[in-house]
Amino acid sequence: GNSVTQMEGPVTLSEEAFLTINCTYTATGYPSLFWYVQYPGEGLQLLLKATKADDKGSNKGFEATYRKETTSFHLEKGSVQVSDSAVYFCALSLNSGYSTLTFGKGTMLLVSP
């Protein structure tokens, strides 16, 4: 089946530090890859996505590159802010049929001033 593995958190950083959250996947077909963010007390919001190998998704200073050879989609940001504190979910869906989303367990990011 399909699965997504994320690094466990929480990840604790100081403001302006560099962020990496690792994500690897296994899929029975060709997937699209997503990062969602959940701020405290809210639902999930799509942060960025990539639909094919070597694509780079980017949004709000975050970016992730679809690496088929390493089955990875690591999330990076060059300089985090306190407002980036949230839970980040990596997810995939297959590029065929009516594919559901498969989520990782989420990684909490805490950024201190």
Partner 1 sequence: NAGVTQTPKFQVLKTGQSMTLQCAQDMNHEYMSWYRQDPGMGLRLIHYSVGAGITDQGEVPNGYNVSRSTTEDFPLRLLSAAPSQTSVYFCASSYARTGGGYGYTFGSGTRLTVV
Q: Are 42 and 29 in contact (CB under 8 A)?
A: no
Q: Which stretch binds partner 1 (CB under 8 A): 18-26, 45-53, 68-76, 78-86?
A: 45-53
Residue 18 beta carbon to partner 1: minimum distance, rounded to whole angstroms: 25
Each residue 60-89 as x (binds partner 1 by CB under 8 A) or -, in order, gives -----------------------------x
Task: Report the SS3 class of residue 83.
Answer: helix
Q: Which is nearer to partner 1, 9 or 17 (CB)?
A: 9
| Whole-number Å distance between alpha carbons of 17 and 4 | 26
Nearest to 63 by CA among 21, 110, 7: 21
Q: Which residue has the tokens 């690897």?
A: 24
Give me the residues that bind partner 1 (CB under 8 A), please: 31-32, 34, 36, 42-46, 49, 51, 89, 93-101, 103-106
